[in-house]
Amino acid sequence: MFHGMHGGRGRHCGSRGDWSRGPFSVHWDFGGDARGGGRGRGRRMFDGGELRLVLLKLIADEPRHGYELIRSIEELTGGDYAPSPGVVYPTLTLLDEMGFIEEQATDEKRKRYAATDAGRAHIEENKEQVDALIERLAHVGERRQRTDGAPIRRAMGNLRVALEHRLTKGDFSQDTLHDVAALIDEVAQKIERLR
């Protein structure tokens, strides 16, 4: 019971809660590459081929460098998913080698890429899949927006702090532990019945 309150393996919408980002965050695991070293251990957001299509689509929409691509995906998902640089940059190198993107000459230190004619044609050939992938990202963002209640995050944070404080003091009797668990269960049941 209390392990769950501390560590957050409670899942919603196919994802796990994480105290560091609020109780209703959606986290995705892309082979361990989610931002921050692969926080999530949920289902994969994309396979490699799908990520290539997403990056290519974003570059076709507007020339971008790797960091901008990461931020763009993060913004689409409302902050719930961002592929790591360790996956994005090798994918950009592959897209470049495939002739789908090319580096632009800029004064910036970062490599900015633009889509080639071959890249745009590839996007058009796979338009249905590309649209579905972008829609998937947007859906994650919409779901996050619906569940991103600041007052609830604050209250959950207060509960976490109170539990940690009492548990680290070690002055809970077994009866008190059961009482606390019963209170939390009661609140959970009431929340489920809310309309």
Task: Give the model's pLDDT for residue 114.
Answer: 96
The pLDDT value given to residue 97: 96
Torsion sign over Cα 124, 47, 88, 67: positive
Distance CA 84, CA 81 (A): 9
Question: Could you tell me the maximum CA-CA distance found in the chain, to the nearest angstrom?
Answer: 70
CA dist 189 → 90, 148, 194 (Å)? 47, 20, 9
Amino acid identity, position 130: V
In this prediction, residue 159 carries a pLDDT of 84
Regarding beta strands 11-12 and 101-104, do their DSSP bridges make them parallel or antiparallel, or are they unpaired?
Answer: unpaired
Q: What pLDDT, on the 0 to 100 scale, is given for residue 17?
A: 36
pLDDT at 101: 96
For residue 8, the model assigns a pLDDT of 37
Q: Which two tokens stand for residue 23?
A: 């109780």
Q: What is the pTM of this model?
A: 0.55
- Tokens standing for residue 129: 């899949």
**Which residues of the chain are modeled with pLDDT < 50?**
1-43
Other Cβ atoms less than 10 A from the Cβ of 54: the count is 23
pLDDT for residue 141: 76
Q: Are 116 and 63 in contact (CB under 8 A)?
A: no
**Does the CA dihedral 40-27-155-2 come out positive or negative?**
negative
Predicted local distance difference test score (pLDDT) of residue 69: 95
**Residue 138 to residues 43, 58, 79, 82, 94, Cα–Cα distance (Å):** 17, 13, 11, 13, 25
Provide the strand spans (E) within the chain: 11-12, 15-16, 64-65, 101-104, 112-115
Q: How confident is the model at residue 4, as a pLDDT?
A: 40
